[in-house]
């Protein structure tokens, strides 16, 4: 909405014709803008990824405009987007409310006024009294005073287009007319020969039989009699054909990546070479020493991983489990199996705090059993770093834990066999690839790859997993360890902040601890900081005599650690922080989580934060403080997120709703998946086509390898590379 007093927004010009500029006849049929090489428009094409002819041909219209008909003013209604042909009966420049060109057009059945706020002498010339013109725009107003603001126009006459005019998605600097011409050219030049063998088209699924070429020709230039609804909701057979092709490309490339991997070698971790002193394996002794029993889910998932590790094929497995489900111990058991076989294991976490937590936990479990652990992080002193590197290179360290520092060039493993990545969605494709290339020493000599275990607390909904992660085996921890009490979640308006502080006081009296999280403002880390600092001061004042700590991302690591350990030891009652605690902090005595400006957080982030409480026996709660700012109420999406949080504690349900709210593009984007996104197919509605593509992909790779390669190349070009991670 425009604020009161602002000038009225001018209606968006119809994109079929250039705005406020007369189009020549030639341009109308096929815009003939001659543009030198490396023009801004060409750069814009590059930006859209439209480099090859086939890319252009596959750039399908967002929608269509019907320029095949001339309407009669007498029949047109307020709000109609119409094309009218008539005679100019009046033309003048007026100055109120501001300078503008006003032209009256009469088509014999009625008249309307054309208004131009920006205009050139050429406008006036084309639109001079007596001219016959064709105009196109949105008709506004009642029968008496109808007008079009900034319609596109040109001299009347000439043939009407025979098909609907496509409107393509574009970017700044790339005029629709130029793009149309480029797409037409690409479509004419591209190799559109069939890649899907006919027997598959006819045998499987409800696919239309039209050829790719026909489908594309049709979608770029549909006949005017086609049902626009079928085009717009993409249910038309031509759309079905394109979506099927796209899904097939995706499935083929993933299956191919899987097969490439299956052809690679990894050390089979089935021996038990390392029996530190006693007869039992490290893994058995680790299990024996745990202060708890594994849940059934942990046992099942552990067995799935074991089975992979014993093979000569590199594992590529995602372990997903809700916050607090107990992924760490599963990772530790896998690491133990790896060391039992005489190999090294690396564990990489996205933040230093998280890596540190893993380190202390794993060290406490494994060092008493004789395992040497190396620690790698960016903030380490050079001397310490050198020591660690030596331990890793000599193979003395069986287990290496750290942050991104683990994948730095200088790090050389003697014999790495298993790489574990925690919170995998926080790492980019390149980083995952780097970790996999870390097999040096013995591994490199034999051309082997390490096994890869990725962990995440943000589960991937099934449809996405099937589609985007077909080259990934998934293990799911669908059970929480016993003794957890469910967390109650409350939405509280920020105006009632005092009541929340009262509640904190109550919890403190019961000896409990509290997290207070301040929002992350992406554009400005410093505002972020002011926020947290202010809240820290307020709480310190409101809760005298209580240790209130502050933790934020800009603090030196040593200071962060000091604060963390004061909180962990219970010396501090309240921890105010920015989202640095988002992942991995484990303080069972904390029973209340307050999230300030909860409306600014993403859903999975909120869920992760909430998972920091409810880890002990005490009843836990999460308070989502929201503020509507100056607005009367929260935005729709923010409301949907908070509602989901209040309604469920289940990470899988949260992920499902998150996908619903954000759509796959953003959902996956947050994971830096690197997977080429689907442009046309929609997993929510195209399940049947996905099933078809999944069934066809292996058959096609087996029987028509050449066609399969052409198909992948056509649809994904260079993007298929990403799938290797
Ligand atoms: P996450 O899956 O979020 O990484 P963690 O591995 O940090 O979860 O486990 C959360 C807490 O639960 C830790 O304190 C861990 O020691 C504990 N835990 C893990 N498995 C069990 C179990 N089977 N029984 C009881 N407690 C467990
Ligand atoms: Mg964890």
pLDDT, tens digit, for every residue of 644-674? Answer: 999 999 888 898 898 888 877 777 664 445 5
Res 9 pLDDT > 50: no
15, pLDDT greater than 80: no
Per-residue pLDDT of 161-197, as tens digits, reads 888 888 898 888 888 889 999 999 999 999 999 999 8
- Asked if the model's pLDDT at residue 423 lies above 90, the reply is no
The pLDDT assigned to 323 comes to 82
Of 324, 351, 568, best ligand 1 pocket probe by most atoms within 8 Å of the beta carbon: 324
Residue nearest atom 19 of ligand 1, based on CA coordinates: 326
Fold of 192-483+672-725: Rossmann fold (3.40.50)
Task: State the distance from the centre of ligand 1 to the C-alpha of 534, rounded, in angstroms.
Answer: 34
pLDDT at 16: 36
Probe ligand 1: pick from 326, 360, 456, max atoms within 8 Å of CB?
326
Q: Is the pLDDT of residue 431 over 60?
A: yes
Ligand 2 mean position to 355 CA, how many Å? Answer: 10
64-68, 378-382, 388-392, 397-401: range with lowest mean pLDDT: 64-68
Least confident residue range of 54-63, 204-213, 380-389, 513-522? 204-213
How far apart are the CA of 615 and the centre of ligand 2, in A? 13
Cα separation, 342 vs 658, in Å, equals 42
Please tell me the least confidently modeled range out of 249-263, 446-460, 700-714: 446-460
Which residues, in sequence order, are CB contacts of 131 under 8 Å at separation 6+? 87, 88, 155
Q: Atom 5 (ligand 1): residue with closest C-alpha?
A: 326
Specify the ligand 1 atom closest to the Cα of 611: 3
- Which pLDDT band, with edges at 50, 70 and 90, does 21 fall under? very low
Mutate to test the pocket of ligand 1, among 327, 423, 481, 587 (most ligand atoms within 8 A of CB): 481
- Residue 662 confidence (pLDDT): 81
User: In this structure, which topology does domain 487-648 adopt according to CATH?
Assistant: Rossmann fold (3.40.50)
> Pick the residue with more confidence: 466 or 444?
466
Is the pLDDT at 232 greater than 70, yes or no?
A: yes
Q: What is the pLDDT of residue 512?
A: 93
Identical fold between 192-483+672-725 and 487-648:
yes
- Check pLDDT > 80 for residue 518: yes
Specify the residue for token string 């992350």: 520
Task: Pick the more confident residue, 368 or 632.
Answer: 368
Query: Counting ligands in written order, which one lies closest to the CA of residue 477?
Result: 1
In this structure, which residue's CA is closest to atom 20 in ligand 1? 326
Mean pLDDT (the chain) is 83
Determine the pLDDT at residue 585: 67
pLDDT tens per residue, range 110-140: 999 999 988 888 888 999 999 999 998 888 8
Q: 3-state SS of the chain: helix, strand, coil percent to 5?
A: 40, 15, 40
Nearest CA to ligand 1 atom 12: 326
Rg, Å, the chain Cα set = 32
Residue list, ligand 1 pocket, CB within 6 Å? 292-295, 298, 321, 323-329, 457, 481, 586
Of 37-41, 254-258, 364-368, the one with minimum mean pLDDT is 37-41
Question: Among 304, 228, 302, which residue's Cα sits nearest to residue 69?
Answer: 228
The span from the CA of 151 to the CA of 368, in Å, is 80
Residue 25 vs residue 707, higher pLDDT: 707
Q: What is the mean pLDDT of residues 302-315?
A: 95
The per-residue pLDDT for 48 is 83
Are 359 and 372 in contact by the 8 Å Cβ rule? The answer is: no
The residue with greater pLDDT, 718 or 535, is 535
Mean pLDDT of 668-683: 67
In the chain, domain spans: 69-160, 192-483+672-725, 487-648
For residues 281-304, one letter each, b for 16 or more C-beta atoms within 10 angstroms of the residue's C-beta and e for the rest, the string is: bbbebbbeeeeeebbebbeebbeb
pLDDT of residue 53: 93
Judged against a pLDDT cut of 90, whether residue 475 lies above it is answered with yes
**pLDDT band for position 510 (50/70/90)?**
very high
| CATH numeric code, 69-160 | 2.40.50.140
Residue in the structure block whose two tokens are 């600097």? 173
Res 725 pLDDT > 60: no
State the Cα–Cα distance between residues 539 and 533, nearest whole angstrom: 10
Give the residue with greater pLDDT, 703 vs 273.
703
* pLDDT at residue number 667: 73
> Which residue's C-alpha comes closest to atom 13 of ligand 1?
326
The predicted pLDDT at position 20 comes to: 39
Q: Which pLDDT value is given to residue 669?
A: 62
Which residues are within 8 A (CB) of 546 and not within 5 positions of it... i.e. 6 or more apart? 508, 573, 574
H or E segment and range at residue 46 = helix 40-47
Give percent of the chain with pLDDT exceeding 70: 85
Lowest mean pLDDT among 32-46, 322-336, 472-486, 524-538: 32-46
Residue 578 in this model has a pLDDT that exceeds 50: yes
Confidence of residue 366 (pLDDT cuts 50, 70, 90): very high
Q: What is the pLDDT of residue 525?
A: 53
In the chain, % of residues over pLDDT 90? 43
Considering 356-360, 641-645, 687-691, the range whose residues carry the highest mean pLDDT is 641-645
pLDDT, residue 678, reads 81
Q: Whose CA is nearest to atom 22 of ligand 1?
A: 481
Query: Using one digit for the tens of pLDDT, what is the confidence trace for 26-35?
Result: 444 444 455 4
């Amino acid at each position: 909405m425009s604020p009161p007093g602002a000038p009225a927004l001018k209606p968006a010009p119809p994109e079929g014709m250039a705005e406020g500029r007369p189009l020549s006849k030639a341009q109308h049929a096929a815009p003939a803008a001659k543009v030198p090489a490396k023009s801004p428009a060409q750069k814009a094409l590059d930006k859209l990824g439209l480099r090859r002819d086939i890319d252009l041909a596959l750039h399908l219209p967002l929608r269509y405009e019907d320029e095949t008909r001339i309407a009669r003013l007498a029949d047109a209604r307020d709000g109609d987007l119409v094309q009218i042909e008539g005679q100019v009966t009046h033309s003048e420049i007026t100055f109120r409310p501001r300078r503008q060109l006003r032209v009256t057009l009469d088509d014999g059945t009625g008249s309307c006024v054309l208004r131009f706020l920006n205009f050139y002498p050429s406008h006036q010339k084309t639109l001079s009294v007596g001219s016959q013109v064709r105009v196109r725009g949105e008709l506004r107003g009642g029968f008496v005073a109808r007008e079009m603001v900034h319609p596109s126009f040109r001299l009347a006459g000439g043939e009407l287009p025979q098909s609907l005019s496509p409107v393509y998605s574009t970017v700044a600097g790339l005029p629709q007319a130029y793009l149309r011409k480029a797409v037409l050219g690409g479509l004419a030049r591209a190799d559109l020969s069939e890649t899907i063998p006919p027997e598959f088209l006819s045998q499987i699924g409800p696919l239309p039989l039209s050829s790719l070429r026909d489908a594309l020709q049709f979608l770029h230039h549909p006949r005017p009699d086609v049902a626009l609804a079928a085009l717009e909701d993409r249910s038309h057979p031509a759309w079905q054909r394109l979506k099927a092709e796209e899904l097939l490309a995706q499935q083929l490339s993933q299956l191919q990546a899987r097969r490439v991997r299956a052809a690679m070698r990894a050390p089979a971790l089935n021996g038990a070479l390392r029996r530190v002193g006693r007869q039992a394996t490290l893994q058995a002794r680790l299990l024996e020493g745990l202060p708890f029993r594994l849940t059934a889910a942990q046992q099942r998932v552990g067995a799935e991983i074991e089975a992979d590790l014993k093979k000569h094929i590199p594992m590529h497995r995602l372990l997903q489990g809700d916050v607090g489900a107990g992924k760490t111990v599963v990772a530790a058991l896998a690491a133990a199996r790896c060391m039992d076989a005489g190999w090294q294991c690396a564990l990489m976490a996205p933040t230093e705090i998280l890596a540190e937590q893993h380190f202390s936990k794993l060290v406490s479990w494994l060092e008493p059993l004789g395992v040497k652990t190396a620690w790698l992080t960016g903030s380490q002193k050079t001397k310490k770093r050198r020591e660690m590197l030596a331990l890793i290179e000599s193979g003395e360290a069986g287990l290496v834990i750290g942050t991104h520092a683990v994948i730095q060039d200088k790090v050389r493993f003697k014999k790495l066999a298993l790489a574990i990545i925690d919170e995998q969605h926080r790492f980019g494709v390149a980083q995952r690839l780097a970790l996999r290339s870390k097999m040096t020493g013995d591994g490199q000599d034999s051309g082997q790859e390490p096994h890869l275990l990725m962990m995440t607390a943000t589960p991937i909904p099934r449809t996405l997993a099937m589609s985007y992660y077909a080259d990934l085996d998934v293990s799911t921890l669908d059970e929480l360890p016993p003794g957890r009490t469910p967390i109650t979640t409350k939405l509280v308006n920020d105006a009632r902040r005092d009541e929340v502080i009262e509640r904190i006081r109550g919890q403190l009296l019961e000896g409990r601890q509290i997290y207070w999280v301040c929002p992350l403002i992406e554009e400005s880390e410093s505002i972020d900081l002011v926020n947290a600092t202010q809240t820290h001061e307020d709480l310190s004042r409101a809760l005298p005599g209580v240790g209130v700590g502050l933790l934020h991302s800009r603090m030196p690591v040593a200071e962060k650690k000091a604060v963390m350990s004061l909180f962990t030891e219970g010396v501090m009652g309240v921890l105010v922080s920015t989202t640095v605690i988002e992942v991995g902090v484990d303080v069972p005595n904390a029973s209340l989580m307050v999230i300030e400006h909860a409306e600014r957080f993403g859903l999975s982030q909120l869920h992760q934060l909430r998972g920091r409480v409810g880890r002990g026996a005490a009843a836990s709660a999460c308070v989502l403080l929201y503020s509507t700012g100056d607005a009367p109420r929260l935005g729709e999406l923010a409301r949907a997120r908070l509602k989901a949080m209040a309604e469920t504690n289940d990470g899988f349900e949260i992920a499902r709703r998150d996908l619903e709210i954000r759509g796959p593009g953003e959902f996956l984007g947050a994971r830096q998946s690197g997977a080429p996104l689907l442009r046309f197919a929609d997993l929510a509605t195209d399940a049947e086509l996905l099933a078809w593509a999944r069934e066809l992909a292996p058959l096609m790779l087996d029987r028509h390898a050449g066609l399969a390669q052409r198909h992948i190349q056509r649809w994904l070009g260079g993007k298929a590379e990403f799938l290797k991670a």
